[in-house]
């Protein structure tokens, strides 16, 4: 529920509303806007509580939200949210585009340094690289772990780019929080609720990827887990869903972008690399993402795909990425978007 307060509400009245909200079993979130103050209520909506709150002096209206996600909803927060990454060096949302690029996995200091140099020069603003890799086979490369995180941090600092990396387990949260600027929750973990709660306890931004068989509503409900813990910095990522089509790795649901934007204030970016798995399709799908008003793209780049430890076949070569960035910049300018 959302309690809309009168424009002339007094401070003692606001405090009384907050007390009553807690007595009724909800967790209040006070939001002071330029023109209005509202209180978001975390808890189960019910008619009795709505009636009780409506009777309090200073309350103008009580809105019951029928959507199961509250804090993620547009009703709760009308403006687009802008998520700062790397102490505000890069902003995502509200017209600011994230251009996240890098290899699937951190493989070595020299290797990452070379790729980071290329993507930075091309105009990417966030460096990616997995240190903990979710692999279908337990015998496949699992990532460099903490050594990989340190390399990612060092190289990010060298090229002056914030870094994002996947966290797969609650036990890894403190480590990833220490070394990275942004958590990535992968498709396979989108509904790992303990992990969502754990990153929700931090204040580091979270890149939440859509599960491969998750609906848009499931994705927003997962975002709600992070927001409900008090971390407002969530960026969603469409990365394709499983389908009958077998000529692409997944099926890119481009309509998820405007679909999410209609229902939520959270930024949403698109990952055409994991969505298509094909370098010949990635550039056009990246362009389509920005045209669909996504808040950025997430692209895997490798300077020697045949030697990559994971996802080599879908990596763009540095010159391909540079040419894509040239096109994305032109499109962004045309649409009045900025790339920090």
CA distance 259 to 237: 13
Measured from the CB atom, is 17 or 168 closer to ligand PEP?
168
Residue 187 within binding range of ligand PEP, rule CB under 6 A: yes
Q: Tokens standing for 228? A: 């409900």
Which residue, 69 or 132, has its beta carbon nearer to ligand PEP?
A: 132
Alpha helix (H) ranges present in the chain?
11-23, 47-54, 109-122, 146-159, 173-179, 193-200, 216-228, 256-263, 272-276, 282-291, 318-334
**Count of beta carbons in the 10 Å neighbourhood of residue 129:** 29
CA distance 196 to 85: 18
Binding residue (CB under 6 A) for ligand PEP from 186, 296, 305, 318: 186
Q: Which is nearer to Mn ion, 104 or 281 (CB)?
A: 104
Smallest gap from residue 134 Cβ to ligand PEP (A): 6
306 DSSP assignment = G
Q: Which of 41, 53, 85, 104 contacts Mn ion by CB under 5 A?
A: 104
Q: How many CB atoms lie within 10 A of CB 65?
A: 16
> Is 261 one of the binding residues for ligand PEP (CB under 6 A)?
no
Residue 107 binds what, of ligand PEP, Mn ion, none (CB under 5 to 8 Å, by partner type)?
A: none
Looking at the DSSP bridge assignments, the partners of residue 251 are: 241
And the tokens for 235? 């960026």
* Residue 128 Cβ vs ligand PEP, minimum distance, rounded to whole Å: 7
**Residue from 209, 261, 265, 337 binding ligand PEP (CB under 6 A):** 209
Tell me the HSE value of 117 on the side-chain side, using a 13 A CA sphere: 7
**Strand, coil or helix: 7:** coil
CA atoms within 13 A on the CB side of 292: 25
Tell me if 134 contacts ligand PEP by CB under 6 A. Answer: yes
Minimum distance from residue 319 beta carbon to ligand PEP (Å): 22
When CB distances to ligand PEP are compared, the closest residue is 186
Output 181 or 311, the one with its CB closest to Mn ion: 311
d(CA 165, CA 205): 11
Q: Does 211 bind ligand PEP (CB under 6 A)?
A: no
Q: Is 274 in the site for ligand PEP (CB under 6 A)?
A: yes
**Per CB under 5 A, does 166 bind Mn ion?**
no
- State in angstroms the smallest separation of the CB of 282 from Mn ion: 12
- Between 118 and 265, whose beta carbon lies closer to Mn ion? 118
Residue 311 interacts with Mn ion (CB under 5 A)?
A: yes
Range in contact with ligand PEP (rule: CB under 6 A) among 150-158, 182-190, 194-202, 280-288: 182-190
Q: Which does 232 bind (CB under 5 to 8 A by kind): ligand PEP, Mn ion, none?
A: none
Of how many residues is the chain composed? 340
Q: Which stretch binds Mn ion (CB under 5 A): 6-14, 34-42, 253-261, 308-316?
A: 308-316
Number of residues that bind Mn ion (CB under 5 A): 2
Helices (H) and strands (E) in the chain, counts: 11, 14
CA–CA separation, 83 and 93 (whole Å): 6
Residue 205 interaction partner, one of ligand PEP, Mn ion, none, beta carbon < 5-8 Å per kind: none
CA angle at 267 for the pair 127 and 210, rounded to the nearest 5°: 80
Q: Which two tokens stand for residue 193?
A: 């609720």
Does 239 bind ligand PEP (CB under 6 A)? Our answer is yes
Task: Name the site residues for ligand PEP (rule: CB under 6 A).
Answer: 104, 130, 134, 186-188, 209, 239, 274
Task: Name the site residues for Mn ion (rule: CB under 5 A).
Answer: 104, 311
């Amino acid at each position: 529920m959302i309690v809309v307060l009168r424009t002339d509400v007094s401070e003692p009245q606001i405090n009384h509303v907050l007390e009553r909200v807690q007595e009724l079993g909800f967790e209040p979130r006070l939001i002071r806007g330029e023109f209005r103050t509202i209180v978001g209520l975390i808890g189960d909506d019910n008619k009795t509580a709505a009636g009780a709150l409506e009777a309090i002096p200073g309350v103008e209206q009580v809105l019951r939200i029928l959507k199961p996600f509250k804090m993620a909803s547009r009703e709760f927060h009308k403006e687009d949210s802008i998520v700062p990454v790397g102490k505000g060096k890069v902003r995502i949302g509200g017209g600011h585009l994230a251009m996240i690029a890098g290899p699937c996995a951190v493989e070595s200091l020299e290797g990452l340094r070379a790729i980071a140099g290329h993507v930075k020069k091309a105009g990417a603003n966030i460096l990616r690289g997995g240190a903990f890799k979710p692999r279908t086979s337990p015998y496949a490369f699992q990532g460099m772990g903490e050594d990989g995180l340190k390399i990612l941090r060092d190289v990010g600092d060298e090229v002056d780019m914030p870094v994002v990396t996947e966290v797969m387990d609650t036990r890894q949260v403190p480590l990833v929080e220490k070394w990275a600027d942004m958590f990535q929750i992968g498709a396979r973990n989108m509904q790992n609720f303990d992990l969502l709660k754990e990153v929700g306890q931090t204040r580091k931004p979270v890149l939440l990827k859509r599960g491969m068989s998750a609906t848009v509503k499931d994705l927003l409900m997962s975002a709600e887990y992070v927001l409900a813990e008090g971390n407002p910095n969530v960026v969603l990522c469409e990365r394709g869903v499983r389908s009958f089509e077998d000529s692409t790795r997944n099926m890119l649901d481009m309509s998820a972008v405007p679909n999410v934007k209609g229902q939520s204030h959270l930024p949403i970016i698109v990952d055409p690399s994991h969505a298509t798995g094909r370098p010949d399709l990635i550039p056009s799908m990246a362009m389509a993402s920005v045209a669909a008003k996504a808040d950025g793209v997430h692209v895997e780049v490798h300077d020697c795909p045949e030697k990559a430890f994971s996802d080599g076949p879908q990596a763009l070569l540095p010159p391909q990425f540079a040419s894509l960035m040239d096109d994305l910049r032109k499109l962004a300018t045309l649409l009045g978007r900025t790339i920090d």
